[in-house]
Amino acid sequence: MPETYDIGLGNNNSHLRQEADSDFVSFWDSQARNLSWFSLWTKTLDWNPPFARWFVGGTLNASYNALDIHQASKSAKTAILWEGEDGQSRNITYGELFIQVQKFANVLKSLGVQRGDRVTIYLPMVPELPIAMLACARIGATHTVIFSGFSAASIRDRVSDSQSKVIVTADGGYRRGQIINLKSMVDDAIKSLDFVNHVIVLERAKNKISMTPKDKLWGQLMADVSDLCNAEELPSDHPLYILYTSGTTGKPKGVLHGTGGYLTHLYSTFKWAFDIKDSDIFFCTADIGWVTGHSYVVYAPLLCGATQVMYEGAPDFPDVSRMWQILQKYQVTIFYTTPTAIRLFMKFGAEIPNSFDLSYLRLLGTVGEPINPEVWRWYFKIIGKERCPIIDTWWQTETGGMLISPLPGLETVSLKPGSAGHPIPGINIGIVDENGNDVPANTKGYLVVKNPWPGMLLSLWDDDEKYKTTYWSKYDGCYYSGDYAMRDDDGYLWLLGRADDVLNVAGHRIGTAELESCIVSHPSVVESAACGIPDDVKGETIIIFAVLRQGILGGTKLEQELTDKIRTDIGAIATPKHIYFVPKLPKTRSGKIMRRLLKAIGTNEEIGDTSTLEDGSAVTQVQHAFDEVHRRTK
Ligand code: PRX
């Protein structure tokens, strides 16, 4: 008998599945009516492959749906329970959030921001981050949030690509007790970007910063504006945001999301997956700089009028009990985090969470990476006390919201540790082989989506061609996710990692091509290959092989220099575990780097078939370089 856990939370709405199966378009049509529209659509779906437009002719506003609609009944209800890393806390009601968003929308307008403009937001996890996003949405500006762990060079690339004229940042942000000077990062990033007219600076950490003529303080700007700003009536496909994510090329792609379809997807999945009730205290640990934060910290909880905890800092600061302290303090009922965080907690033992009162918890979730069955069981037993369903939610920046997940808000769930379960209603998932044919049960294949869905990306920012080739060219009419998966005999889906050259480090996407182009732009390096090797906590960690210019000798100094370069050009999240200097890289006869061999060496595994290698000695040389580093670092 397979290991399954049946848990019901008293919901019996599986009939939605039949409705969705019989006609997914009219199914989503009825879901979209849960939102507030200024005018209803004339066409539910305009599918001009690969471009989908949902609710054509309808007009709405994301900020209106997140705030205005709650004012009559919930203005005194807490929207955000904010916990600063330094121990400060703030309680922000729906009424207060409404005022702050309108004021900041007026600030943006006063600086010349108009409907259709892009605004870059580079802020730590403070309430002003959702305030700035909602203010953009209110006036029809497209926000582009950059994770505050990214470097100046990464900001420059993204600001240049999106052509943002206004940047919102802070003096500093707290990370593990340190203050990161975000403002100086922005100063460096925009040095040569003349089109940036204004930088709005929130005073969060009160660290010393230098002000330039472009800079304005958030507090001062907010003091001078009215607290009334009507929400713009926007078409359903109005671009709500651009979020940059790593792919298989050297530069991140600007994933572009719309409004009506995206919000419909979030509203529905938040209810079905999290079973959200008015009395719940929801806590998603994701940083808003990533898609999970956009969708399930900012938009979904606010659309549903939920109360949520927002935490500013690292999960293990000042120690690994921090999360449990927060859960206990705010009596959190729904907790959504990553397998990486759970593996970290697990490493420190059950005694720590067991010493906190977690009895309010009623539902647990994970996202971002495959969860190993033993980690799932620990989460289920130690944190959920075998009472709470675990929803393992599979989705991507591009999908906007969850596509595969158990749905305890809809039906009794039957959970298998390590499986994300079934697709959500209205989503047609396929597992196919290289030729696009469905693979039999228990066979690994590529995960594709066979129908358009409301949360799907509109396109890539300013690059429809790349949108087509990246997602829609491998299989005709199907969205290619870049993931491997398998369906078992019971129809459960098992996610088996990336099928492309994208790494998943602690649930964050990092492209090998981005790492490689960073390394080869160093004058000492001619060629490089990055790959991921398994890591007990982060799931995957980065190692890099680099071929140096003639006459240049590798060593720990150069390794440090290259590591620093990655931190400066991309950000600390891309820090490699090791850089190995090798005379050549193993390649096929057609010149393709054989990452499989590099990975096998990095994990001390069997090298396997090398018949397609162009030069067999490359493997021996890589192995030698690898052994040498490990002998030295032992
Ligand atoms: O490989 C899959 C993995 O994360 C990738 C998407 O990354 P990103 O766009 O940054 O979004 C992360 C948060 C939604 C996917 O291609 N992934 C995401 N969720 C899961 C997962 N892998 C396994 N199980 C999941 N639940």
* Atom number of ligand 1 nearest to Cα 286: 13
Mean pLDDT lowest for which of 332-341, 369-378, 463-472, 608-617? 608-617
Give the integer Cα–Cα distance in Å for 336 and 392: 9
CA nearest ligand 1 atom 21, residue: 369
Helix then strand then coil, % of the chain, to nearest 5: 30, 25, 40
Distance from the first to the final alpha carbon of the chain: 45
Q: How high is the pLDDT of residue 634?
A: 63
For 81, how many CA atoms within 13 A lie in the half-sphere containing its CB? Answer: 18
Nearest to 484 by CA among 533, 523, 428, 431: 431
Q: Best mutation site among 256, 484, 495, 514 for ligand 1, i.e. most ligand atoms within 8 A of its Cβ? A: 495
Nearest to 509 by CA among 314, 282, 258, 255: 255
Could you tell me which residue, 29 or 509, shows the higher pLDDT? 29
Q: Is residue 7 part of a domain?
A: no
In this structure, what DSSP letter does residue 574 have? G
Give the integer Cα–Cα distance in Å for 489 and 491: 6
Q: Specify whether the CB–CB gap between 563 and 570 falls below 8 A.
A: no
Q: Please determine, for residue 300, whether its predicted confidence score (pLDDT) is greater than 90.
A: yes
Q: How high is the pLDDT of residue 593?
A: 85
Q: Best mutation site among 255, 294, 369 for ligand 1, i.e. most ligand atoms within 8 A of its Cβ? A: 369
| Span from the CA of 396 to the centroid of ligand 1 (angstroms) | 5
Q: How many domains does the chain have?
A: 1
How does residue 463 score in pLDDT terms, banded at 50, 70 and 90? very high
* Atom number of ligand 1 nearest to Cα 404: 26
Q: Is residue 536 part of a domain?
A: yes
pLDDT, average across residues 254-260: 98
Q: Is residue 577 part of a domain?
A: yes
Q: Specify whether the CB–CB gap between 282 and 276 falls below 8 A.
A: yes
| Span from the CA of 495 to the centroid of ligand 1 (angstroms) | 9
pLDDT, average across residues 14-30: 97
SS3 label, residue 513: helix
Segment 431-452, tens digit of pLDDT = 999 999 999 999 999 999 999 9
| Span from the CA of 564 to the centroid of ligand 1 (angstroms) | 27
Give the integer Cα–Cα distance in Å for 63 and 38: 13
Ligand 1 is surrounded, with C-beta below 6 A, by 245, 290-292, 367-370, 392-397, 420, 481-483, 495, 498, 504, 509
CA nearest ligand 1 atom 4, residue: 368
Q: Best mutation site among 257, 504, 512 for ligand 1, i.e. most ligand atoms within 8 A of its Cβ? A: 504
| Span from the CA of 292 to the centroid of ligand 1 (angstroms) | 10
pLDDT, average across residues 401-424: 98
Block residue for tokens 């206990």: 328
CA nearest ligand 1 atom 8, residue: 396
What lies within 8 Å, CB to CB, of 385 at 6+ separation is: 358, 359, 361
Nearest to 178 by CA among 148, 151, 205: 205
Q: Best mutation site among 342, 396, 399, 448 for ligand 1, i.e. most ligand atoms within 8 A of its Cβ? A: 396
CA nearest ligand 1 atom 11, residue: 396
* Atom number of ligand 1 nearest to Cα 398: 9
pLDDT, average across residues 328-350: 96
Could you tell me which residue, 394 or 625, shows the higher pLDDT? 394
| Span from the CA of 509 to the centroid of ligand 1 (angstroms) | 8
Tell me the β-bridge partners of 390.
364
Helix residue spans in 163-277 (DSSP H): 182-189, 218-223, 260-274
Q: What is the CA radius of gyration of the chain?
A: 24
Segment 487-524, tens digit of pLDDT = 999 999 999 999 988 999 988 999 998 999 899 999 99
> What is the DSSP secondary-structure string of 423-487?
BPTT--EEEE-TTSPBPPTT--EEEEE-S--TTS--EETT-HHHHIIIIISSSTTSEEEEEEEEE
CA nearest ligand 1 atom 14, residue: 396
Mean pLDDT lowest for which of 23-37, 245-259, 282-296, 421-435? 245-259
User: Which phi and psi angles does 542 have, rounded to 5°?
Assistant: -95, 135
Q: Is residue 539 part of a domain?
A: yes
| Span from the CA of 31 to the centroid of ligand 1 (angstroms) | 25
Q: How high is the pLDDT of residue 482?
A: 96
- 301: cis peptide before it, omega within 30°? no
| Span from the CA of 507 to the centroid of ligand 1 (angstroms) | 7
Mean pLDDT lowest for which of 75-79, 223-227, 372-376, 508-512? 508-512
Give the integer Cα–Cα distance in Å for 449 and 479: 5
> How high does pLDDT run on average in the chain?
95
Q: Is residue 618 part of a domain?
A: yes
Q: Best mutation site among 266, 284, 367 for ligand 1, i.e. most ligand atoms within 8 A of its Cβ? A: 367
* Atom number of ligand 1 nearest to Cα 508: 10
| Span from the CA of 246 to the centroid of ligand 1 (angstroms) | 12
Q: Please determine, for residue 633, whether its predicted confidence score (pLDDT) is greater than 80.
A: no
Q: Is residue 264 part of a domain?
A: no
pLDDT, average across residues 304-333: 96
| Span from the CA of 499 to the centroid of ligand 1 (angstroms) | 12
| Span from the CA of 395 to the centroid of ligand 1 (angstroms) | 5
How does residue 376 score in pLDDT terms, banded at 50, 70 and 90? very high
Block residue for tokens 């762990």: 149
| Span from the CA of 419 to the centroid of ligand 1 (angstroms) | 13
**3-state SS, one letter per residue, for 592-605:** CECHHHHHHHHCCC
| Span from the CA of 584 to the centroid of ligand 1 (angstroms) | 33
SS3 label, residue 532: strand
What percent of the chain lies above the pLDDT cut of 90? 87
CA nearest ligand 1 atom 22, residue: 369
| Span from the CA of 539 to the centroid of ligand 1 (angstroms) | 12
Q: Best mutation site among 509, 514, 573 for ligand 1, i.e. most ligand atoms within 8 A of its Cβ? A: 509
What residue numbers bound the domain in which 553 lies? 501-632
Q: Please determine, for residue 606, whether its predicted confidence score (pLDDT) is greater than 70.
A: yes
CA nearest ligand 1 atom 5, residue: 396
pLDDT, average across residues 357-375: 96
Q: Please determine, for residue 632, whether its predicted confidence score (pLDDT) is greater than 80.
A: no
| Span from the CA of 483 to the centroid of ligand 1 (angstroms) | 9
Question: Which CATH number do you get for residue 568?
Answer: 3.30.300.30
Q: Best mutation site among 393, 395, 512 for ligand 1, i.e. most ligand atoms within 8 A of its Cβ? A: 395
Q: Is residue 568 part of a domain?
A: yes
Give the integer Cα–Cα distance in Å for 515 and 246: 10
| Span from the CA of 494 to the centroid of ligand 1 (angstroms) | 12
In this structure, what DSSP letter does residue 405 have? -
How does residue 378 score in pLDDT terms, banded at 50, 70 and 90? very high
Q: Please determine, for residue 618, whether its predicted confidence score (pLDDT) is greater than 90.
A: no
Q: Is residue 464 part of a domain?
A: no
What percent of the chain lies above the pLDDT cut of 70? 100
Give the integer Cα–Cα distance in Å for 586 and 199: 47
Q: Best mutation site among 483, 498, 512, 540 for ligand 1, i.e. most ligand atoms within 8 A of its Cβ? A: 483
C-alpha 215, offset from chain centre: 29
Q: How high is the pLDDT of residue 386?
A: 97
CA nearest ligand 1 atom 13, residue: 368
CA nearest ligand 1 atom 7, residue: 396
* Atom number of ligand 1 nearest to Cα 481: 16
| Cβ neighbour number for residue 8 with a 10 Å cutoff | 12
